[in-house]
Amino acid sequence: MRDYYYDFRDIFKAPRIALHGKNIYLQMKNLLVGYIGYGIIAYVALFVDGVDLGFAWDVHSFFPVGTLGLVSLPGKLIWIAGLLWFAVCLLRGNLAVSRTAYEEIRGNLFYSVTEAKSFIKQKKGVLYKSYLGVIGFIVFMIILGLIAGLIGKIPYAGEISYGLFYAFPYFILSLFTVLILFLFTTFALTGPAVLGVKGEDTLTALFDGFSMVTSRPLRWSILTGASLVIAKVCSFVLFYFSYRAFQFTNATTSVFMGDKGKLIFESAFDKLPVSSPVIKFLSYLYPGSDFGINLYLLGAFNQATTTFAIASYLIVIGVSLVFAFIIAYFINTIVVGQVIAFVNIRRQTHDECLAELPEDELWDDFSIEEKTEDTAGEEAKTVG
């Protein structure tokens, strides 16, 4: 990429790259697939919990979010399975965006959505194994702690052994586990970026993801913090203009529709989860701020005819897609920020110029173009 500096200035490229059509498409697609799957599983959990589905629909509609007031253990486990499904889809979207963003950073502007999907198929297993490997290790350490507790229950010998081995190995292993847990939390951000750039195996991806944080912690923290701030500000600006677009649409359509359009729109917004933490987060400049948009003013319960109700539900779907677009943009900005952070840190630690397209790939592209031209010429001669 031209004007790539390998320093703090590069992070300001994140919102522009995040807004590209193919990046928004890849993220939105996975978000919607994940949310639809979660919604279906959530209603299954409510049904298993003994809740009447008609009543559940009246309460939650298209948005069965939160803990849902589940009581039974099977219902809770099914609901957790829905959350895991959404998390898997989110990881897939982040991996795809990481790859397309990296290809653009290094100058490959013609990297297609099809190529990104092919990359996901090849590397999604590596991404899942990376997370499962760390989770498995943490579970193993927890089991060891439980075993140590059982040994400590033994009269006399157990008490002495607990005091004897408390500093080593119990405390040392616990400290190591806490460190791994912290790195696992950061790997939720760095993992897709590392795989999107390097496309490595499971162990190498884990090592690079952890070393990205530990080798340059200050640089990584600054770039990550900056990407979060940029993502929040840019998504709020997009949300604000979307809000004004809603107002403009209502103002123009009400010229001939009168109050009918207003009533339908208010009925639709009454069904939207405007009180959810996600929507509140997007609609204000920063958490706890008074500078933002009060979406409660847009919604009102209206007794409507069947056609009014259908129209309001259609608007709910349309507005939900707008919200999904804004959420995808917010997530994409953070994901691209991690890609930029990884590329910059690798330049510092390994002297790798990952933002440059290798010469052999340039020659491969040239050979393909030349071969295509020669083939076209031969076909023309044959036809002649």
Q: What are phi and psi of 154, to 5 degrees?
A: -65, 130
Q: At what angle do helices 306-350 and 259-271 cross, to 10 degrees?
A: 50
Provide mean pLDDT across the span 138-144.
90
The total domain count for the chain is: 1
Would residue 297 count as lying in a domain? yes
Would residue 311 count as lying in a domain? yes
Ramachandran bin of 206, using left for φ above 0, alpha for ψ from -120 to 50, beta for the remaining angles: alpha
pLDDT tens-digit profile of 86-130? 999 999 999 999 999 999 999 898 899 999 999 999 999 999 998
Residue 365 reports pLDDT greater than 50: no
Reported pTM: 0.88
Would residue 327 count as lying in a domain? yes
- SS3 state of residue 63: coil
Would residue 188 count as lying in a domain? yes
Confidence of residue 70 (pLDDT cuts 50, 70, 90): very high
- Looking at residue 307, its pLDDT comes to 84
Would residue 105 count as lying in a domain? yes
State the chain's mean pLDDT as an integer. Answer: 88
Ramachandran bin of 276, using left for φ above 0, alpha for ψ from -120 to 50, beta for the remaining angles: beta
Q: Residue 197's closest CA among 306, 106, 87?
A: 106
pLDDT tens-digit profile of 184-197? 889 999 999 999 99
Domain around 295? 8-371
Tokens of 89: 């889809």
pLDDT tens-digit profile of 179-227? 988 988 899 999 999 999 998 888 889 899 999 999 999 999 999 999 9
Would residue 214 count as lying in a domain? yes
Dihedral sign for Cα atoms in the order 105, 110, 116, 122 = negative
pLDDT tens-digit profile of 330-350? 999 999 999 999 999 999 999
Would residue 3 count as lying in a domain? no
Would residue 159 count as lying in a domain? yes
